[in-house]
């Protein structure tokens, strides 16, 4: 989910603008709006609840997003595994977030966002 502030930082367009492109069913313009993030890496700090783990329809709140290369490489690993009880799931090209970092992210959001939307309007009406 992208809110206006985050969409402007990452994509250079507000969530409202992208939503309008989607409403107009202009697929090429909508796809073009996401070109700024092609071949870019981001590190997301997620807020994960018990509901996220047990729910079929999983949506996660991103509380921090960063494109800082040093920070991404600090938490990156080429091969990680996640222990969720007995089974071990191997994940290729994943990021392991074992500790919080003192390095600031692009932004921090205290919003408890619903997970059903891809793009949402955070501007007050």
Number of other CB atoms surrounding residue 64 within 10 Å = 19
Structure tokens at 30: 């909508």
| Confidence grade of residue 125 (pLDDT, cut at 50, 70, 90) | very low
Q: Which residues does 49 contact at the CB level (< 8 Å), separation at least 6?
A: none
Residue 14 has pLDDT above 60, yes or no: yes
* pLDDT digit string, tens, across residues 29-41: 778 888 888 888 8
Average pLDDT, the chain: 68
What is the spatial distance between Cα 10 and Cα 40, in angstroms, rounded to a whole number?
Answer: 10
pTM confidence score = 0.50
- Higher pLDDT: 75 or 61? It is 75
Residue 3 has pLDDT above 80, yes or no: no
Q: What value does the mean pLDDT take over residues 3-18? A: 80
Number of other CB atoms surrounding residue 98 within 10 Å = 7
């Amino acid at each position: 989910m992208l809110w206006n502030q985050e969409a402007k930082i990452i994509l250079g367009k507000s969530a409202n603008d992208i939503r309008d492109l989607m409403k107009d069913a202009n697929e090429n313009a909508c796809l073009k709006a996401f070109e700024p993030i092609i071949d870019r890496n981001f590190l997301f700090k997620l807020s994960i609840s018990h509901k996220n783990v047990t729910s079929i329809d999983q949506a996660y709140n991103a509380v921090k997003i960063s494109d800082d290369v040093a920070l991404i490489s600090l938490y990156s690993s080429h091969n990680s595994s996640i222990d969720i009880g007995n089974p071990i799931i191997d994940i290729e090209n994943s990021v392991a977030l074992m500790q919080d970092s003192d390095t600031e992210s692009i932004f921090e959001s205290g919003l408890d966002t619903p997970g059903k939307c891809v793009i949402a309007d955070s501007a007050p009406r």
